[in-house]
Structure 1
Amino acid sequence: MLHWLAAARAALVPAAPRPDAVLVDLGCGAGLLAPHVAGKGYRHIGVDRSPSALRQAAEHGVQPLAGDVQAVPLPAEFADCVVAGQILEHVVDLRAAVAEACRILRPGGLLVLDTLAATALCRVVAIGLAERLPRIAPRGVHDPALLVDRDVLVAEAAQHGVELALRGLRPSLRDLVAWSALRRSSVRMVPVRTTAVLFQAIGWKKG
C-alpha cells in the first residue's frame, strides 16, 4: 500500500519551480516516492533514521540524509517542496515534526503530507482491519496513541505560515478487487469527503 500512497503523494507535487529546486522527503524510507517525482526536476533529499532504508533510497537516486523528522538536520528555508508521507502517525511529538517541516520550507514553497487520523473509525479501519489483511500493512505497525489529531496538525502548520487544506483518501475499490485477485499490480488512491481515516494535506508557505 505504501507504493500506492507514494504515487498519490507525487501527484500533488508540481514541476520544480527553478533549476536548482530541492524536494525534501521526510521519513523517506526506501525511496518509494523517487520514481514518481524523478522527472519533475528536483534534487531529491531523503531524511530517515534507518541506515538500511537510506541505502535503499540512494539506489533510487535519492540523496540520503540521516536524521529525525522532529529535528531535521537542514537549514531554515532550504526546500522548495517538503513531503512527509505515512510518517507523522509514527512520531511522538507531532508539533515538533510539523514545525520542522515548515521551518525548512522556503516562502512560497509547498508542503505535502499524508497520514492517518486520530479517530475511532481510523482505529477500526487502519489498525483493526488493514493490519489483518495480507499485503496491506504489517500487524502492529501503528500505535493508536500516535494517530494524528487533524486540528493540531492544521493549527501547528498555520502557526508556522502554512495554511493546510485536507482531503480524504482511499483505495479504488475496483482496483483493490483486481489487485486482490492478482490481476493488477497497483491500486489507485481516490479522494473521498471524509478525512476521518486516511487523508492528505497540502499547503503553501506564506512569504
Structure 2
Amino acid sequence: MRDQGAGATGRRPAPVRPRNDPAQYDDLVDEWWRPDGAFAMLHWLAEARAALVPVASRPDALLVDIGCGAGLLGPHVAGKGYRHVGVDLTRSALRQAGDHGLLPVNADAAAVPLRTGCADVVAVGELLEHVPDWRRAVVEACRVLRPGGTLVLDTLNDTAMSRVVSIRIAELFPGVPRGIHDPRLFVDARALVAECARHGVRLAVRGVRPQTGAMLRWLIGRAVPAARQRGVGRVAPRIVPTWSAAVLYQGRGLKEG
C-alpha cells in the first residue's frame, strides 16, 4: 500500500502494506467516523444499504451486520426496530461499533458464531471483495438468516471496468486509501446471484454509483482548500441506482421458507 494521502490530510503516512491487508483498518482507525475522511464513501453506501432494510416486523427482531467495521450502518437503521449485532474481524473498528450502539462480535465472516436462522436481516456491506473466500462468507450470511428474512449487500464487480475505476482512477484522488482493495477478490455479480440461490436466497442486483455532480463538487472541495472555504462539496453525494452493475452493485433478496 502506498501513502494513504497524508499530504492531503496532514497525517503521518501509513505503513506500506500489501493490498487488502486487514492491518490497514488499524492504521486508519481514526478515519471511520470522519465524514470527509478515508472512509467517506462507506458512509454514503451505508445510507443506501439501510434503505433496503425493511422495518422490523416483530419484537426483538435481529439485524446481523457482517463486516460492520466501526458501525456506520447503525445510525441509518436505528429507528427500524432491530437489535443490531455487528460482526467484524478488526477489534479496533469493532470497539467503535460498540460505542455507536451495535452489539459487537469479534469473528471472521467465514465462521460467524451465531445460531442458524437467528437473523431477520443480514447486511453484508462492502465486505465480499475483501475476504479470501467470498462464497464461504455467503454461506454464513445465508445460514444465519431465517426463512423469510432479508439479505442486503453491496460489493464491487469482477470486471475490467471495476478494476480501472476502483483502483487506477479512485486511488489517484487525495485522501483515498491506497491498496485497500485487491482486484483479484472482486465478486462477479452473476456468480453471487447463483451462490445465494444455492442457499435459498433469491437475490436481485442493481448497479449503483455516487451522484455525478455532487461527487465532482465533493472531490473539488476536498482537494482545493479555497473551494472548500467557499462551501464547495460540503454536501456529501448520495448513492443512486444506475443502469450498469459493471462497477459497484447492491443486492437484496429474501430467504425462502
TM-score norm. by structure 1 comes to 0.97
Write out aligned runs for 1:42-57 (5 A): 42-57=82-97
* Letter in structure 1 aligned against 2:66: L
Distance 1:65 1:20 in 2: 18
Question: Stretches of 4+ moved more than 4 A in 1?
Answer: none
- Matched residue of 2:56: which SS? coil
Aligned counterpart, 1:62: 102
Aligned counterpart, 1:193: 243
Aligned counterpart, 1:8: 48
In the alignment, structure 1 residue 83 sits paired with structure 2 residue 123: yes
Q: Cα offset for 1:179?
A: 1.9
Distance 2:152 2:45 in 1: 12
In the alignment, structure 1 residue 146 sits paired with structure 2 residue 185: yes
- Matched residue of 1:52: which SS? helix
Deviates more, 1:169-178 or 1:83-92: 169-178
* Letter in structure 1 aligned against 2:111: A
* Letter in structure 1 aligned against 2:48: A
Q: Cα offset for 1:17?
A: 1.1
Distance 1:164 1:47 in 2: 22
Determine if contact 2:69/2:93 at 8 Å carries over to the other structure. Answer: yes
Determine if contact 1:95/1:152 at 8 Å carries over to the other structure. Answer: no
Aligned counterpart, 2:147: 107
* Letter in structure 1 aligned against 2:203: L
* Letter in structure 1 aligned against 2:113: P
Distance 1:133 1:177 in 2: 11
Aligned counterpart, 1:93: 133
Tell me how many residue pairs correspond in the alignment: 206
Determine if contact 1:115/1:200 at 8 Å carries over to the other structure. Answer: yes
Q: Cα offset for 1:151?
A: 2.1
Of the two, which has the highest radius of gyration?
2
* Letter in structure 2 aligned against 1:93: D
Determine if contact 2:151/2:254 at 8 Å carries over to the other structure. Answer: yes
Q: Cα offset for 1:185?
A: 3.6
Structure 1 unmatched runs, 5+:
none
Aligned counterpart, 2:253: 203
- Matched residue of 2:155: which SS? strand
* Letter in structure 2 aligned against 1:96: R
Distance 2:45 2:171 in 1: 16
- Matched residue of 1:115: which SS? strand
RMSD of equivalent CA atoms:
1.0
Aligned counterpart, 1:171: 210
Structure 2 unmatched runs, 5+:
1-40, 222-227
Q: Deviations over 1:69-127 (max 9, x none)?
A: 11111110010000010000001111111111000000000000000000000000011
- Matched residue of 2:129: which SS? helix
Q: Cα offset for 1:61?
A: 0.2
Distance 1:31 1:51 in 2: 12
Distance 1:193 1:156 in 2: 23
Q: Deviations over 1:12-32 (max 9, x none)?
A: 111111111000000000000
Q: Cα offset for 1:175?
A: 1.4
Determine if contact 2:214/2:235 at 8 Å carries over to the other structure. Answer: no
Identity over aligned residues, as a percent?
61
Q: Cα offset for 1:134?
A: 2.3
